[in-house]
Amino acid sequence: MYNMDLATIVVIGANILVSLKGFNDSYFFDRYKFSIGAINSGQKERMLTSGFLHVDIAHLFFNMFTLYFFANVVINWFGQAKFLIIYFISLLAGSLLALFFHKKEPYYSAVGASGAVTGILYAAILLQPDMRLGIMFIPIPLPAYVLGIGYLLYSIYGMKSRLGNIGHTAHFGGAIGGYLATLVFMPSLLQTDTLMVILLALPIVLLFVLEKMGKI
């Protein structure tokens, strides 16, 4: 456990406040959620506002709990300002990828900070790939990069099979945003951790290869 930085508190607080408003106001929720039809009609702000809405308390808690544990890794490396930049880049990257893959589905909609949070998670993994992370049903903590790559491969499977009521596309887009923003802020990783940079890029390359082949 650790003391939260102001930036983390602000992000979590904003998610809580906007989500609570959405829980109690269906018009507000519908007006600001991610919706392909509405975005294509000109309501581009939904690509940002949808990242602060959640379906229910459990959805909100899981995203904020994950953010709580990985925000400090990014902040310790880059500071609070760059953490916020990576967060919002990841949020928008998740929305952009969802828009790209679902542009012909006018009724497709989504909410949640998962894209932004996944971006922070992937940034943290790129910065500290040897972190050990535990996961349910696996008794031994695994290296962070193994779980990161595995999660993106699972997201590709989820996108392909439309698995569950989960925004797999936004998760993947967020990871891309976090990955690229981290390399922009610390290009030295291309030299000091070349292998890890390549390994973490493999699922991203695979996604676009599959898309080009019409497999997704």
- Tens digits of residue pLDDT in 34-87: 999 999 999 999 999 999 999 999 999 999 999 998 999 999 999 999 999 999
β partners of residue 109:
35
> What pLDDT, in 10s, does the model give residues 6-43?
999 999 999 999 999 999 999 999 999 999 999 999 99
- CA of 60: how far to CAs of 43, 51, 149, 199, in Å? 24, 11, 24, 30
Check if the beta carbon of residue 86 is closer than 8 Å to that of residue 122.
no
Q: What is the pLDDT of residue 168?
A: 82
Strand 132-135 versus strand 138-143 pairing type: antiparallel
> What pLDDT, in 10s, does the model give residues 187-213?
999 999 999 999 999 999 999 999 888
Q: What is the pLDDT of residue 1?
A: 45
pTM of the model: 0.92
The residue ranking higher by pLDDT, 72 or 4, is: 72
Q: What is the mean pLDDT of residues 142-148?
A: 87
Check if the beta carbon of residue 70 is closer than 8 Å to that of residue 143.
no
Q: What is the pLDDT of residue 176?
A: 97
Q: What is the pLDDT of residue 91?
A: 98
- In whole angstroms, what is the distance from residue 51 CA to residue 90 CA? 10
* 157 pLDDT tier (thresholds 50, 70, 90): confident
The answer on pLDDT for 165 being more than 90 is: no
